[in-house]
Structure 1
């Protein structure tokens, strides 16, 4: 089939790698994964090819009514389907939105590391200690928020609730490729900036949102 006979939204199929990479890429993007060079080098290479990127962007806009976005943080680019907008396109309930208490953990992680200048923080245990000891009002609010979640059954005054919420948040953030961790040691990935891009007003006013 000649190149000119294919519509723009299907021209990525002309890439020799499309046969074995597109399905994996599509599944990851629909599941909310952020595609980055350091975590998914083959998918990133396929997607960042200029012709493929333009074609795939047209594909998702035409057939799924969602936007394929590219962002850059610290000189590193990443891609994602924009599910945080109100319009979810034709994906229905495939993508599971982040629950509010998981978002709150993300807000707090950004606050602790960036706003409070703990940029060298790499320990999940230390992060939980900071939440408990340095931000008691935030912990109380977090517990109340978790208590309203239908998925949580812990006592909202029990510190184990905070431990559970942090554990769940880091697991979900790793699925999204916002963070990576090995045991207690974690690092934020370039795509973690997606959280701050999407919720900057909330993070900037976090003290007002988290009043007891």
Structure 2
């Protein structure tokens, strides 16, 4: 026998939440601009609002914008983001979509390698990260120059340490914009949602040393 007391969840049920007036506009703006939301400082309020209304908000974005509310991580590492459906690019205006440039993705690979593979676990300075790429990863420099030059549509002779430093600085700003890191001038902290990078590019990251060294021989 059906339970007649069960409340049907709809694409607008979340509007009945007491936090909707305070949080939904900010959550909606952030998600549509490619930001990842997690339990971090002021985002924690947004995160709890989504978590308390997850099924309703999922329906809202799927039905009205053709995109999917997704999550990664577990427990305190959980984060939310919007993703495109397999057969649709969604109804979110192009100006609101944030795509990482290829050279920024490559910088992300190297940041992941430094912290999570090579155990630079205390790395929290953009300048220190730039210095690591220039000095500690000398054997990767030629390959890194080549993949960055290709991503930026430059000749290999046009790629310099200065251009690499500039690319790293701009990449870190892009990571902050989508909520992968918190950036305060030169200092940064990697957030749980940065783990979406290896989820998207596992094949590259799992073989990053070989990939970059191979690029150096091309």
Report the CA distance shift for 1:198/1:85 in structure 2 as closer, same or farther (over 3 A).
farther
Q: Which residue of 2 aligns with 1:58?
A: 59
Q: Which moved more, 1:4-13 or 1:60-69?
A: 4-13
* Conservation of the 8 A alpha-carbon contact between 1:84 and 1:198: no
Structure 1 length-normalised TM: 0.85
1:45 equivalent in alignment to 2:48: yes
Q: Deviations over 1:56-86 (max 9, x none)?
A: 0111111222211122257322111125978
**Residue in 2 that maps onto 1:143:** 145
- Paired residues of 1:71 and 1:78 also in contact (CA < 8 A): yes
CA distance, structure 1, for counterparts of residue 116 and residue 192 of structure 2: 14
Match of 2:169 in 1: 167
Q: Which residue of 2 aligns with 1:124?
A: 126
Could you say if the C-alpha distance between residues 84 and 97 of structure 1 is closer, same or farther in structure 2, counting changes exceeding 3 Å? farther
Match of 1:198 among 197, 200, 204: 200
Helix, strand or coil at the partner of 1:21: helix
Q: Corresponding residue for 1:91?
A: 92
Flag structure 2 segments of 5+ consecutive residues without an equivalent: 1-5
Q: Among 103, 111, 126, which residue is 2:113 paired with?
A: 111
CA distance change for structure 1 residues 13 and 139 in 2, over 3 Å: closer, same or farther?
Answer: same
Unaligned runs of 5+ in 1: none
Give the Cα–Cα distance (whole angstroms) in 2 for the partners of residues 69 and 118 of structure 1. 30
* Contact map agreement 2:66 2:85 (CA 8 A) in 1: no
Q: Which residue of 2 aligns with 1:76?
A: 77
Structure 1 residue matching 2:99: 3-state secondary structure:
coil
CA distance in structure 1 between the partners assigned to 2:198 and 2:27 by the alignment: 24
Q: What is the root-mean-square deviation of aligned Cα atoms in Å?
A: 2.8
Q: Distance in 2 between matches of 1:175 and 1:15?
A: 27
Give the structure 2 partner of residue 36 of structure 1.
Answer: 38
| TM-score, length-scaled by structure 2 | 0.83
Cα drift, residue 90 of structure 1: 2.1
Aligned equivalents of 1:118, 1:86: Cα separation in 2: 40
Q: SS state of the match for residue 119, structure 2?
A: coil
Distance 1:141 1:178, change over 3 A: same
Residues 82-133 of structure 1, C-alpha deviations (whole Å, 9 max, x = no match): 2597843222523131111100000000101111122122222221111111
Q: How many residues align?
A: 208
Any conservation in 2 of the 1:36–1:44 contact (CA below 8 Å)?
yes
User: Displacement of 1:153 after TM fit?
Assistant: 10
